[in-house]
A and B are shown apart, each in its own frame.
Chain A
Amino acid sequence: DAKTTQPPSMDCAEGRAANLPCNHSTISGNEYVYWYRQIHSQGPQYIIHGLKNNETNEMASLIITEDRKSSTLILPHATLRDTAVYYCIVRVAGKLIFGQGTTLQVKP
C-alpha cells in the first residue's frame, strides 16, 4: 500500500502557482519523498525528490515540513502542459508504490 495521501483532484489557473499537498505521516527518518507526474497516456516523468531540506530544480520546488509528515510540490507558473496526474511517493521496501495521485487541471 502507498504510504502517502493526496487529494484526488485540483484546479489551477494558467500562470499561477500550483501547490500540490501530500501527507506521509509514517515516513521513516531516512526515506526520501519523490514526485512523479504522468501526462495523459504517457510514461511517468520524474520531477523532484527530497529528504529534509527544501529542494528546487528547473521543473518545481519541494517543500518538506520540519517533522517530515507532509510536503508540497510547487509548480511556480503552471501552464496548460502541466495538466497531469501527480504522484507523491515514499518507497516501500525500496520500491516505488504508485497510489492514485492528484489530477491537476490547469485552466486558461
Chain B
Amino acid sequence: NAGVTQTPKFRVLKTGQSMTLLCAQDMNHEYMYWYRQDPGMGLRLIHYSVGEGTTAKGEVPDGYNVSRLKKQNFLLGLESAAPSQTSVYFCASSYPFDSRQETQYFGPGTRLLVL
C-alpha cells in the first residue's frame, strides 16, 4: 500500500494564478482532510470530507475549494493564489472506529510558495 500520496511535492505560483493539489489514498478510507501548516505553527484544518461527493469547511476555508468525486481522491483548489497561502499543505485520511475514535494517516505534504 502506498498510503496517502500528494501531488505535487513542491510548487511555485505567482499571485493570481490557480492550481489544484491532489491527494490520493489506497486504504479505502471514508474520511479525508486538507490541512495547512505555516512555519512554527500547528496544522489547521481547511476542508474535509466524510464520504464521496461530500465536503465541509474547516477552520480556515477561505480562498480554497475542494472536491471529492471519487472515494480515493480529494482535490484542493486555489482559484486565485495569494502570498498568504504560502504554506505546507498536508492531506490525511481516516476510517473512524466510531464517533469518538479515529486515526488519521497523513501524506508527505505539498510545499507551496506564492510570489
Contacts and interface: CB of A to CB of B under 8 A. Distances in A.
Contacts of A95: 45, 48, 58
Contacts, number: 50
B104 A96 contact: yes
A106 B85 CA distance: 33
Contacts of A96: 43, 45, 104
A49 B109 contact: no
Say whether chain A's binding surface is mostly helix, strand, loop, or mixed.
loop
B49 to A, nearest CB: 13
Contact of A46 (B45, B88, B104): B104
B1 interface: no
A91 B33 CA distance: 14
Contacts of B90: 43-44
B107 to A, nearest CB: 5
B105 A98 contact: no
Interface string A82-105: 000001000100111111110000
Interface of B: 4, 35, 40-45, 48, 58, 88, 90, 92, 99-109
Interface of A: 2, 30-32, 36, 41-46, 49, 51, 87, 91, 94-101
